[in-house]
Amino acid sequence: MSDIEALKQQLGGLQGEALAAFAAAADLDELGELRVRYLGKKGRLTEVLKGVGKLPPEERPAIGQSVNAVKQALAGALQEAEGKLAAEAARLRIEAERVDVTLPGRRRPRGAMHPVHKGLQEMTAIFSQMGFAIAEGPEIEDEFHNFDALNIPPEHPARAMHDTFFIRDMSNAEGEPMLLRTHTSPVQIRAMRRCLEEGEPPLAIVAPGRVYRCDYDVTHSPMFHQVEVFKVDRDMSLAELKGVLQHFLSTYFEKDVPIRLRPHYFPFTEPSAEVDIGCVFCSGSGCRICKHSGWLEVLGSGMIHPNVLAAVGIDTDAYSGFAFGLGVERLVMLKHGIPDLRLFFENDVRFLRRMGA
């Protein structure tokens, strides 16, 4: 075989090999490498061209043409493969970055009011709508407001029953020890005093707030909330007390709940009554929650003891009053069927979410 034929054959083989390689390249990087390998300065085609220099001068133009034709064919094939791979790369990139506008948006969790606070606001609002003014008192109290003025003298057993947190090394101007209030009833004393400074009863107050007792189990927490409600006026009666209770409880539970007043004892009221509602779980037919009595105890109430009115200087011949105090957590638990008081304070978001937070 002459040199020229051998060269032509070489060229043909090279072209076939290169075209197959270009077509098989997986990506643009690989194609770049192939370009260098076949068309680069030290590439395969250059190698073949070296052979051309050894040919006699008259044969060179013909083979030169063949070389150029192969070069062009390779360049064209490269360009085509490049176009294909670039388009494929772009398609993949678009695919990866594609935005599916039909996907639901990512929601940021929204904060909401704690169920106890919500209950407290609902309850306060009901009394507010009945004309009771909202008042607050300090959570750190003295013994006078928390006990003495409420007709609970120092040796009274009710004082021991309150499981009081006393505050070490703290006393008021009279040197009396300070404590965390065990109930919202001291607001009665503060509000009545303020009322007398400005004038005379009538006085109708709703006092929501935190209270503290050294206690912790399924139904007791060392911190809980109460709402204290009271009214001082001429001719106050148990009938008015019962009417206010009936309206409040039916509004809060969003149904006509029957109520009953059971005689009881509180130092600061006389007579005193424990208030029950018809069981909201079994409607009175008897269940585990109401211990088969059909009734649930919800709050304490009574006619304000004359000693309490006298302690602040209200004329007990002219005025009388009624009062009651309720546990907010207990009412929220009954309304929503919550079995354990501690759920309110553990801050497990699953519970708070179920409560609509």
User: Which range, of 32-40, 171-179, 245-253, 323-331, touches ligand DAH by CB under 6 A?
Assistant: 323-331
What is the nearest approach in angstroms of ligand DAH to the Cβ of residue 109?
36
Q: Per-residue x/- mask for ligand DAH, residues 9 to 38, rule CB under 6 A? A: ------------------------------
Q: Does 269 bind ligand DAH (CB under 6 A)?
A: yes
104 preceded by a cis bond (ω within 30 of 0): no
What is the nearest approach in angstroms of ligand DAH to the Cβ of residue 130?
16
Q: Does 266 bind ligand DAH (CB under 6 A)?
A: yes
Tokens, residue 168 = 């070490």
Tell me the residue length of the chain: 357
211, 132, 229, 134: CA torsion to nearest 10 = 10
Q: Using CB under 6 A, which of 142, 228, 276, 329 touches ligand DAH?
A: 228
Q: Using CB under 6 A, which of 66, 146, 301, 320 touches ligand DAH?
A: 301
What is the nearest approach in angstroms of ligand DAH to the Cβ of residue 345?
19
Q: Does 127 bind ligand DAH (CB under 6 A)?
A: no
Backbone angles phi, psi at 127, to 5 degrees: -70, -35
Q: Does 180 bind ligand DAH (CB under 6 A)?
A: no
148, 154, 160, 165: CA torsion to nearest 10 = 70
Q: Does 147 bind ligand DAH (CB under 6 A)?
A: no
Q: Per-residue x/- mask for ligand DAH, residues 55 to 94, rule CB under 6 A? A: ----------------------------------------
Q: Label residue 202 exposed, middle or buried (CB < 10 Å: 0-12, 13-18, 19+).
A: middle
What is the nearest approach in angstroms of ligand DAH to the Cβ of residue 213?
9
How far is the C-alpha of 283 from the C-alpha of 198, rounded, in Å? Answer: 46
Alpha helix positions (H), the chain: 3-24, 28-39, 44-53, 60-97, 115-129, 143-146, 157-161, 186-198, 238-253, 306-312, 328-336, 343-346, 349-354
Ramachandran class of 219: left when φ > 0, alpha when ψ lies in -120 to 50, beta otherwise: alpha
User: Which range, of 100-108, 196-204, 278-286, 300-308, touches ligand DAH by CB under 6 A?
Assistant: 300-308
192 in Cβ contact with 312 (< 8 Å) = yes
User: Which range, of 46-54, 249-257, 287-295, 317-325, touches ligand DAH by CB under 6 A?
Assistant: 317-325
Binding residues for ligand DAH, rule: CB under 6 A, are 183, 185, 228, 266, 269, 300-302, 323-325
